[in-house]
Amino acid sequence: MVFFEHHGVEEKESFHYFTLVHSSFPLHFHRAYELIIVNEGELEVTIDQKEYVLKENDLAFIFHNQMHEFKTIDHSKITIVLFSPELIGHFFMNYQGYVPGNNVLHLSHAPNLHALDSIYSQKSFLYDICSMLVDQTAFLPVEHSTKTKVLHKILLFVDRNYYDDCTLKAVAKSLQYDYPYLSKLFVQMTNMTFTEYLNHYRISQACYQLKNSQRSIGEIAINCGYTNLRSFNRNFKKITNYSPNRYRALSDA
């Protein structure tokens, strides 16, 4: 199950939101726009290699195809909103090819997303956020280097194959690049090895399934690419500081 990459692709006017507790998610990108709203605690968000620290009622507005990641600082409760560019078509057309100089806004209060029960209320909310962003920051033209394009391809491969036999050798074969080149490039641009990234990505997917499904821990481990439950539990504890059972209990609290 993928909950980031394919949002904003499956339908022209899509709007999805969900809550994450004590969560982190490694570097990724997607066609959809994304809002990250901090309800409690603190969150470190990196967008196109620029770092932000978000606190309560801060919002990060991430443009489509901007590479980003987020990490909980101590503890956090956040809301993720994913929506297709078509939902704010006028804004999308005017700012296509540009990204914000500063992606972060501060809200006076937490939005009541449950009240957005029609496409018109959703568009009204989103255009209000767009207006705030336009008023508060400049916009810069998008620049994609060759290395960035290659990294995009690697991240997309992981997104589509993380639950299977996903290795950097398989990536190199699929993309027709030399393995040593991809290995060096990946470390340079993410500050972690491919294996470290893959484990973070798999555990992040597992966190989502623990919160949003009734699957057993063994089933979730398999769904996320782990054939050994002991390895899954060890990596989960190392990355989240919780056991899978404890994480599920905290998410349900």
Q: What's the whole-number mean pLDDT along residues 62-86?
A: 94
pLDDT score recorded for residue 211: 87
Please calculate the CA angle 17-46-220 and round it to the nearest 5 degrees.
50
Percent of the chain with pLDDT strictly greater than 90: 84
Amino acid letter, residue 158? V
Nearest-angstrom CA–CA distance, 81 and 176: 35
Is the separation of the CB atoms in 100 and 139 below 8 Å?
yes
Two structure tokens written together for 139: 């916009």
Q: What's the whole-number mean pLDDT along residues 186-205?
A: 95
Strands of 84-124, DSSP E? 98-100, 104-106
Nearest-angstrom CA–CA distance, 123 and 13: 10
Strands of the chain, DSSP E? 15-21, 25-28, 33-47, 50-54, 58-62, 68-83, 98-100, 104-106, 139-141
Query: pLDDT tier at 8 (50, 70, 90 boundaries)?
Result: very low
Two structure tokens written together for 31: 């066609």
Percent of the chain with pLDDT strictly greater than 70: 95
Is the separation of the CB atoms in 224 and 209 below 8 Å?
yes
Nearest-angstrom CA–CA distance, 243 and 25: 17
Two structure tokens written together for 24: 């982190």
pLDDT score recorded for residue 212: 87
At 130-155, the pLDDT tens digits run: 999 999 999 999 987 899 999 999 99
> Average model confidence (pLDDT) for the chain?
92
Is the separation of the CB atoms in 55 and 42 below 8 Å?
yes
pLDDT score recorded for residue 38: 98
Please calculate the CA angle 216-3-156 and round it to the nearest 5 degrees.
115
DSSP codes joined into one string, 128-149: HHHHHHHHH--EEE----HHHH
Nearest-angstrom CA–CA distance, 65 and 5: 10
Q: What's the whole-number mean pLDDT along residues 215-223?
A: 97
Is the separation of the CB atoms in 22 and 76 below 8 Å?
yes
User: In order of start, what are the domains of the chain with their CATH numbers?
Assistant: 15-141 (2.60.120.810), 146-252 (1.10.10.60)
pLDDT score recorded for residue 1: 33
Query: pLDDT tier at 12 (50, 70, 90 boundaries)?
Result: confident
pLDDT score recorded for residue 145: 85
Nearest-angstrom CA–CA distance, 223 and 208: 12
